[in-house]
Structure 1
Amino acid sequence: MRSKYLRFICRFAAAGLVFAAGAAAAAPAVTADNGKIPDTIAQRVAACVVCHGKEGRAGSDGYYPRIAGKPAGYLYNQLINFRDGKRTYPVMTAMLENMSDAYLREIAQYFSEQHPPYPEPQAAQSNPAELERGRRLVHDGDKAKGIPACVACHSAKMTGTAPAIPGLIGLPRDYLLGQIGAWKIGTRHAAQPDCMADIVKKMSAEDISAAAAWLSEQRVPADASPAPAITAKLPLECGKLAP
């Protein structure tokens, strides 16, 4: 079972199931009166929604995540990480390599202000024992392994924390497996100290599968806004949690 999950995780992580924009731009909107393409931020991010879905609500294939409503600081940090090589996906790197910090911040701000409805959670794919293990990891962590609870950083409702910690619900299981797996095999990095990498190293393949399963099956609350900034000490020191 362990080798099965590790192969599954590595396959998705290596396939680049990451925060990614479309390689091709959407069809440009043309004004009826003069035939010109409007120079708006919504038009300029048209390439992003090819993969990330209308308003950034997520692709239908489970590979491209929801970016709508994520904290602007988090989105900005991820754009920087793709541009500068901390996250690896050739399409994203090619699209971002010549963009300035200021422009990436503008893109991040735009998507953080989009709030389309969330889809229904995925149908159950796991047995009750695995889901209970996932619930415990999310809410309590595993002290014996030194794994902190996910809610300690990502907020009690798992909708993220301002200004730079993302929400973890409303995402497909495959995407969650891919991202956690990318940290596990060392193909995803964040600013040092990379707290997520430290945490994931302590998680078994079964732990990763359980957490992803439980998160993907949760209904997103009516108010899915990120929680206010954390004032208490975090379980681990994390690099660049501020934009």
Structure 2
Amino acid sequence: MLSKCFRFVRLFTASCLVLTAGISSAADEGKVPDTIAQRVAACVVCHGKEGRAGSDGYYPRIAGKPAGYLYNQLINFRDGKRTYPVMTAMLENMSDAYLREIAQYFSDQHPPYPEPQPTQSNPAELERGRLLVHHGDKEKGIPACVACHSAKMTGTAPAIPGLIGLPRDYLLGQIGAWKIGTRHAAKPDCMADIVMKMSAADITAAASWLSEQRVPADATPAPAITTKLPLECGNLAP
């Protein structure tokens, strides 16, 4: 617990220093640039340059994700529906309009992405992950991930996130949070329903396979789905 506290202090301090440094540098020149890129400088401390994902294997890619999804998550962190002290501390005084602006900024970013880091998973585990992503498991009632998150797994407008380009540890952490009931979405919470049908081996396999896939050159979200989804989901509105 103490190590987590120290980590929080370091991250929050680093984020504040980035904001302060940017303002101080501009002040030395007699002018503070009022650009959205300058105002979200603290975000890239954890999420990487242009939001392409952190280098430590935990912080997710936020660049190029659907703006509606990013906005919903910012609201959830601000209002305590998702719990992470660094995010809550940074967002607690921000308005809905400002959070929409931040979400749109990162949604519009499409930088080149680094090569995925190998997970050292065995071939059988990776094949199980591929099958779950592309076909699901009918016997367990698990729908294919591509049914909602798009064929390229880059997400679907307006509010279904892309799962490609996310670190394995982050995927395991978030799927695990749904599994133990510490992460929630608007009801009906389709992700919670799906994850509860997945075994620990299923979760590891899906996370491992996804994290080893390259982000495609065109990583923009797919158009909104007009057909019926496998499950009713309550978190699709931006």
> Structure 2: 5+ residue runs without aligned partners?
5-10
| 1:149, distance to aligned residue in structure 2 (A) | 0.3
Pick aligned residue for 1:28 from 18, 22, 31: 22
**Counterpart position of 1:40:** 35
Q: Which runs of 4+ in 1 moved over 4 A?
A: none
2:122 aligned with 1:151, yes or no?
no
**Counterpart position of 1:79:** 74
Matches within 5 A, 1:200-211: 200-211=195-206
| 1:31, distance to aligned residue in structure 2 (A) | 4.4
1:73 maps to a residue whose letter is: G
1:112 maps to a residue whose letter is: S
2:155 aligned with 1:180, yes or no?
no
Q: CA-to-partner distance for each residue in 1:128-163, whole Å, 9 max, x for gaps?
A: 111111011000101111100000000001111111
Instruction: Indicate the larger mover: 217-226 or 153-162.
Output: 217-226
RMSD after superposition: 1.8
**Counterpart position of 1:113:** 108
**Counterpart position of 1:65:** 60
| 1:117, distance to aligned residue in structure 2 (A) | 0.8
TM-score (norm 1): 0.88
Pick aligned residue for 1:224 from 219, 223, 238: 219
TM-score (norm 2): 0.90
Q: CA-to-partner distance for each residue in 1:100-143, whole Å, 9 max, x for gaps?
A: 11111011001101111111022241111111110110001011
Q: 1:28 aligns to what SS in structure 2?
A: helix
Instruction: Indicate the larger mover: 34-43 or 228-237.
Output: 34-43
Matches within 5 A, 1:118-129: 118-129=113-124
Q: CA-to-partner distance for each residue in 1:160-214, whole Å, 9 max, x for gaps?
A: 1111111111111111111101111111111111110110001000000000011
Kindly tell me: are residues 226 and 35 of structure 1, through their superposed partners in 2, closer, same or farther at Cα, counting changes over 3 Å? same
1:28 maps to a residue whose letter is: G
Structure with the largest fraction of helix:
2
Instruction: Indicate the larger mover: 29-38 or 224-233.
Output: 29-38
1:64 maps to a residue whose letter is: Y
**Counterpart position of 1:12:** none
**Counterpart position of 1:162:** 157
Q: 2:148 aligns to what SS in structure 1?
A: helix
Q: 2:169 aligns to what SS in structure 1?
A: helix
CA distance in 2, matches of 1:218, 1:94: 33
Kindly tell me: are residues 124 and 85 of structure 1, through their superposed partners in 2, closer, same or farther at Cα, counting changes over 3 Å? closer
How many residue pairs were aligned?
225
**Counterpart position of 1:5:** none
8 Å CA contact 2:58, 2:168 repeated in 1? no
| 1:32, distance to aligned residue in structure 2 (A) | 8.8
Q: 1:62 aligns to what SS in structure 2?
A: coil
CA distance in 2, matches of 1:32, 1:78: 32
8 Å CA contact 2:67, 2:107 repeated in 1? yes
CA distance in 2, matches of 1:162, 1:70: 9
